[in-house]
């Protein structure tokens, strides 16, 4: 096997540091980032969105209980906020179940409820009835023969009311059922249902939140991405159960895995609470297509205003006394592309963005605003990015590397190399941006990943790209004027893989976490091809070195100027999915005042040295 060598040269006079804001990610309501991801909601279609089942009358994702029961959709409990301008259909329904024969069991149920032994689950129903009933709530085996937990909820009254009970579970069953039924002669209307593990964090999974902390995420962009063009921030002010499902205008916008609806589980208050919990700064994208400049100024005021402002007072009345202090805002997402609603010419977008920016800044001076656009595109840079720099001194850049298809074993190397080498494609784009932009405009690299990473299991190809791309961004940040960067996106789309029973870091996630050791460090060494990076913080020098070659080994030489505290190798025999890095302790060779580390193909080393 061929071997090539690299020698690390250190510059101890360097004053360049690694910004924590380069370790960002996105939290966009797409695919399974929330659904089956961060959200711990266990029920599918819990608000009865969409059309009823043909010849059934009951909502999709549910099954009927009772041969003689009648199922119809009725007037909804869920709704949009009074300030709502989008036009969607089939979002708002309630599920009515009619039992005309006393003693018959009638209701609805759902399969594939993953239960864990020893956990307790909080069930809630918003309901109204024509005559009092006792709702039987049970968690059972799929065939219904084994009942794990049961509770009775007395329900009465023809006005909407929320009912809640706790169901302790004595067994593990990854494919259990939930059944909601009654036997009284009555008409029961269900407006929204919920099933959450009792230990949830505002409807979010604590294990996933723990991994976001472990990753060291310092900036979170929300609610998109493409979803920002669908989102009405006012809806998040409603109680979670009352918030209307949001139908996708375009298939890519929300959740194709969830019938094309977002169930509105996370609003601005939950998002800020998450950012504070993981120690990250919020980066919020407005919807300049469907929300007016006044709406978006109100959004800013809600986040940052004091008690003497209308929306600041509203936030305080909701229990959030201190301003959220959201400074970073994006003026929409990916305008200039056909998949986004709204103005898609640079001149048209610049006018809309300017009106929104002026209104937002009047609500809170000193915001850090970022303009959208299909960069690099000189027409957009001139007529939009540069034209807006008096209000928005940052432009947004997005990039997705080659999607490895692995059509045959003979193609593995070519597909791997196309993907990894796209790091240099992005480098050239960023430098091209920088060449055309004035110095007082910075670049927000606020979406980057391998294309369609969300369709694959963890794999080392994506992991090596992640490591090399992060190392490139950290190394190039000063030269290219990159003020922030957000991987797209952490949960179920790159860094964290979630299952009903747990969550783990992917190969990408391991690399993101590993590179986080450079955060806040002083840059002492970097290579032109980004194969290595060394930083110093608190007297410890951290070196990460990547061998991106598919077959060749790499030897990397490091001057012996201190005590070697730690050396780890992240390696794998395979690069295609599914694959993860094996982590090993390694020892270097000593030669003429140097440490020599041998790095296998598609592997990474992390070295920590205590400087003397």
pLDDT tens sequence across 411-467: 999 999 999 999 999 999 999 999 999 999 999 999 999 999 999 999 999 999 999
pLDDT at 563 over 80: yes
Q: Which CATH class is domain 20-40+200-223+266-520?
A: alpha beta
pLDDT at 299 over 80: yes
Pairing type for strands 540-547 and 589-591 reads unpaired
pLDDT at 311 over 90: yes
CA distance 370 to 353: 10
- Tens digits of residue pLDDT in 66-78: 999 999 999 999 9
Q: What CA–CA distances, in Å, run from 505 to 246, 286, 498, 515, 568?
A: 30, 30, 9, 14, 17
What pLDDT was estimated at residue 490?
Answer: 97
Q: In the CATH hierarchy, which fold is given to the domain comprising 63-197?
A: Jelly Rolls (2.60.120)
- Tens digits of residue pLDDT in 103-152: 999 999 999 999 999 999 999 999 999 999 999 999 999 999 999 999 99
Domain boundaries, the chain: 3-14+524-611, 20-40+200-223+266-520, 63-197
Q: Predicted confidence band at 251 (pLDDT cuts at 50, 70, 90)?
A: low
Q: Taking the model in full, what pTM does it have?
A: 0.96
For the chain, what is the mean pLDDT? 95
In CATH, what is the architecture of 3-14+524-611?
A: Sandwich (2.60)
The average pLDDT across 529-537 equals 96
What pLDDT was estimated at residue 375?
Answer: 78
- Tens digits of residue pLDDT in 50-65: 999 999 999 999 999 9
Q: Predicted confidence band at 254 (pLDDT cuts at 50, 70, 90)?
A: low
User: Is the Cβ–Cβ distance between 90 and 164 less than 8 Å?
Assistant: no
Residue with more model confidence, 125 or 247: 125
Lowest-pLDDT range of 35-39, 99-103, 257-261? 257-261
pLDDT at 401 over 90: yes
pLDDT at 387 over 90: yes
Pairing type for strands 442-450 and 482-487 reads parallel
User: Is the Cβ–Cβ distance between 226 and 28 less than 8 Å?
Assistant: yes
The average pLDDT across 573-601 equals 94
CA distance 420 to 465: 5
pLDDT at 313 over 90: yes
pLDDT at 1 over 70: no
Mapped onto helix, strand or coil, the DSSP state of residue 340 is coil
Q: What percentage of residues in the chain have a pLDDT greater than 70?
A: 99
Pairing type for strands 70-74 and 147-155 reads unpaired
Q: How many CB atoms lie within 10 A of CB 171?
A: 14
- Tens digits of residue pLDDT in 197-225: 999 999 999 999 999 999 999 999 999 99
463: which 2 tokens?
A: 């992991």
């Amino acid at each position: 096997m061929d071997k090539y060598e690299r020698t690390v040269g250190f510059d101890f006079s360097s004053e360049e540091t690694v910004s924590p804001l380069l370790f960002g990610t996105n939290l966009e309501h797409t695919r399974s980032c929330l659904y089956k991801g961060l959200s711990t909601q266990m029920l599918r279609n819990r608000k009865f969105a969409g059309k009823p089942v043909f010849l059934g009358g009951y909502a999709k994702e549910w099954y009927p209980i009772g041969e003689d029961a009648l199922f119809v959709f009725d007037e909804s409990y869920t709704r949009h906020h009074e300030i709502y301008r989008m036009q969607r259909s089939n979002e708002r329904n309630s599920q009515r179940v009619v039992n005309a024969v006393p003693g018959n069991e009638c209701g609805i149920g759902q399969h594939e409820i993953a239960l864990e032994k020893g956990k307790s689950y909080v069930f809630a129903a918003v309901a109204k009835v024509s005559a009092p009933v006792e709702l039987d709530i049970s968690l059972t085996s799929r065939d219904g023969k084994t009942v794990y937990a049961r509770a009775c909820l007395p329900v009465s009254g023809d006005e909407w009311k929320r009912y809640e009970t706790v169901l302790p579970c004595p067994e593990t069953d990854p494919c259990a059922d939930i059944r909601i039924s009654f036997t009284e002669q009555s008409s029961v209307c269900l407006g929204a249902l919920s099933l959450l593990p009792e230990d949830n964090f505002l409807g979010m999974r604590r294990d996933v939140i723990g991994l976001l902390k472990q990753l060291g995420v310092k900036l979170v962009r929300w609610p998109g991405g493409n979803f920002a063009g669908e989102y009405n921030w006012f809806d998040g002010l409603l109680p979670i159960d009352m918030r209307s499902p949001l139908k996708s205008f375009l298939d890519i916008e929300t959740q194709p895995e969830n019938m094309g609806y977002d169930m509105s589980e996370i609003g601005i208050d939950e998002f800020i609470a998450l950012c504070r919990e993981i120690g990250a700064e919020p980066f919020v994208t407005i919807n300049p297509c469907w929300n007016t400049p006044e709406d978006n100024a109100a959004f800013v005021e809600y986040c940052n205003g004091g008690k003497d402002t209308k929306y600041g007072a509203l936030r305080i009345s909701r229990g959030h006394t201190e301003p959220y202090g959201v400074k970073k805002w994006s003026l929409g997402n990916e305008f200039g592309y056909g998949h986004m609603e709204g103005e898609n010419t640079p001149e048209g977008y610049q006018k809309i963005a300017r009106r929104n920016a002026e209104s937002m800044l009047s609500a809170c001076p000193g915001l850090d605003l970022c303009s959208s656009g299909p960069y690099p595109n000189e027409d957009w840079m001139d007529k939009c990015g540069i034209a807006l720099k008096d209000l928005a001194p940052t432009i947004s850049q997005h990039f997705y590397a080659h999607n490895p298809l692995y059509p045959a074993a003979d193609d593995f190397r070519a597909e791997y190399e196309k993907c990894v080498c796209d790091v240099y494609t992005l480098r050239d784009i960023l430098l091209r941006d920088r060449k055309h932009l004035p110095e007082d405009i910075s670049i927000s690299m606020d979406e980057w990943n391998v294309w369609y990473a969300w369709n694959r299991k963890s794999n080392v190809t994506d992991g090596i790209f992640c490591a090399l791309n992060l190392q490139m961004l950290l190394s190039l940040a000063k030269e290219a004027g990159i003020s922030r960067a957000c991987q797209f996106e952490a949960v179920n789309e790159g860094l964290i893989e979630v299952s009903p029973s747990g969550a783990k870091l992917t190969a990408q996630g391991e690399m993101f976490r590993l590179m986080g050791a450079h955060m806040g460090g002083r840059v002492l060494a970097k290579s032109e091809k980004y194969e290595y990076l060394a930083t110093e913080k608190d007297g410890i020098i951290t070196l990460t070195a990547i061998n991106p070659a598919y077959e060749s080994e790499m030897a990397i030489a490091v001057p012996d100027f201190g005590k070697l505290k730690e050396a780890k190798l992240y390696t794998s025999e395979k690069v295609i999915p599914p694959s993860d890095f094996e982590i090993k302790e390694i020892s270097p060779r000593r030669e003429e005042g140097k440490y020599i580390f041998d790095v296998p193909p598609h592997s990474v080393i992390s070295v920590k040295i205590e400087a003397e």
